[in-house]
A and B are shown apart, each in its own frame.
Chain A
């Protein structure tokens, strides 16, 4: 992990969000898709905690953060930061996505829930760097995404041209019914067709979303094996190095620190 100063080189307004293009070459070169960056978002001690972001764009010298709307003081401070401002960043945090060697067909799945994505910084948009890297590497990439409204979806022009893109609108997730039939709304409606095709899956969403994914994958592929699907566990970090124990989660293997085991985990870690 590095602590470095990044320069805000560009600000773009994308709907209600802002995308901040930050330059700090050492950190940019060490980031992989799915890893987090902790940004100091204010002067002095207010707010005291860094804000967690999962970059939505990665380049050799720079990366892009997506700052949500809302009343959070740290996010508001970042939305008001001037181009040219120096931002104190810690990162990368944890383990990112890693497409298994030999995979040719990559399925990416995203659930966007703006209401819950603010604090954790986790958003389906954070799949974009992984999708771009996979497409550049020559993999066949299919991306399926669901969101509460059409404007919450990632616009198709943000994806590489070769990526096949499926979208679905699911205004409100139905209450989970243990043992009940898998959902046929949202992204799950595409999965019976896409899962048999995929060699590997990368996903970002809620734990309920991962539960649906696991149930559908078991039905579509007979069994769900370790290494087939990687998911990003949505959480915010305090120290990012395993000292504070703030980011623990109850996984199938026990209570674990996400900054050490994740934030990218195997699907079986959360939906065993």
Chain B
């Protein structure tokens, strides 16, 4: 069974499986945990890229929290041109679509990057990362700008806490699908005693995801919803599907327990 994420777009974005490798889960499709293959997924989402290279947060990026962790990378990336130069050829050889994630901290550059990627055959779509605190009018403006710059399928990843309020402006501005959502921001101490802030990752984020998915699906918008955030077992995925999601993204599960991710992919394939 396939899932179409961009049914209103002239470019289709068809998933052969309802499981996606979430943003950066396998880096730029160059960092594979043991046992993980592209064939497990309906699509891969890259690590977030920006117009210019970003050094990201200084070392000391990880803090463990109960049943979860905070990872503050600061969207460390070499810039979209370098990413395309280094990886686009490999992406074309993959059996699954590659969706490029655009870093939320550089929204003013989204339309510029989108315009450059319009004719890049290795890119099947874009995923815009809307930061926590964005207003509906901001989302409408940003998505509209990207929509004008590219015809590529457009996924918009919304912060779970604000997803119900931001979903409608995102769809009205031209998003093809919604990713719900970016986990709430949190803070904790690293092992070195430095306080860092960033999105909560891991199973503790799942209840926030489930609530947001159900709320957005309840809006009955004409766009598919992809669940993301803390999904770590088949039961989580089933809850998301029951709440209205058409697919799920995983990330931290791939890093912490690749074998469990393989099992989840197999379970979803046989459901």
Q: Which residues of A contact B (CB under 8 A)?
A: 1-3, 40, 45-50, 88, 90, 119-120, 236, 238-250, 255
Given contacts A3-B33, A90-B33, 11 further A-B contacts (CB under 8 A): A1-B33, A2-B34, A3-B34, A48-B64, A120-B191, A236-B62, A238-B256, A245-B71, A247-B62, A248-B61, A255-B59
Contact yes or no, B61 A49, CB < 8 A: no
Contacts of B259 in A (CB 8 A): 3, 88
Complex: chain A residue closest to B203, CB-CB: A45
Residues of chain B within 8 A of A250, CB atoms compared: 58-59
With the chains together, A246 CA to B255 CA distance in Å?
11
Instruction: Say whether chain B's binding surface is mostly helix, strand, loop, or mixed.
Output: loop
Q: Which residues on the B side are within 8 Å of A247 (C-beta)? A: 62
Q: Are B56 and A242 in contact (CB under 8 A)?
A: no
Between-chain CB contacts (< 8 Å), 15 pairs: A3-B259, A45-B202, A48-B203, A49-B256, A238-B256, A239-B31, A239-B256, A242-B27, A243-B24, A243-B254, A244-B255, A245-B47, A245-B56, A245-B76, A246-B61
The residues in B between 35 and 85 inclusive whose CB is less than 8 angstroms from any CB of A are 35, 47, 55-56, 58-59, 61-62, 64, 66-69, 71, 73, 76
C-alpha gap A248/B191 in the complex (Å): 14
Residues A241 and B58 in contact, CB atoms below 8 Å apart: no
- Min distance, Cβ B234 to any Cβ of chain A, angstroms: 15
**With the chains together, A247 CA to B202 CA distance in Å?**
18
Known: A40-B257, A241-B32. A246 touches B71 (CB 8 A): yes
A119 to B64, CA, bound (A): 11
- B32, A48: Cβ atoms under 8 Å? no
Tally A-B pairs: CB < 8 A. Answer: 98
Tally B residues with Cβ within 8 Å of A. Answer: 37
* B183 is an interface residue with CB less than 8 A from chain A: no
B170 close to A (CB within 8 Å): no
Are A255 and B56 CB-contacts (below 8 A) given A45-B203, A48-B64, A238-B69?
yes
A116 to chain B, nearest CB (A): 9
Interface residues of B (CB under 8 A from A): 24-27, 30-35, 47, 55-56, 58-59, 61-62, 64, 66-69, 71, 73, 76, 191, 202-204, 232, 252, 254-259
Minimum CB–CB distance from B107 to chain A (whole Å) comes to 21
Across the interface, which residues of A come within 8 angstroms of B256, CB to CB?
A: 40, 48-50, 238-239
Would you list the 6 A-B pairs with minimal beta carbon distance, nearest first? Answer: A239-B255, A243-B31, A119-B191, A242-B31, A45-B67, A246-B62
**Nearest chain-B residue to A46 (Cβ)?**
B67
Q: Roughly how many angstroms separate A222 CA and B76 CA in the complex, as a whole number?
A: 38
Query: Please, how many angstroms separate the alpha-carbon atoms of A111 and B257 in the complex?
Result: 33
- Check if B73 sits within 8 Å of A245, measured CB to CB: yes
Residues of chain A contacted by B258 (CB below 8 angstroms): 3, 90
Q: In the complex, A90 Cα to B258 Cα: how many Å?
A: 9
Taking the closest CB of chain B, its distance from the CB of A49, in whole angstroms, is 5
A237–B96 alpha-carbon span in the complex (Å): 28
Residues on A with beta carbons closer than 8 Å to the beta carbon of B24:
243-245
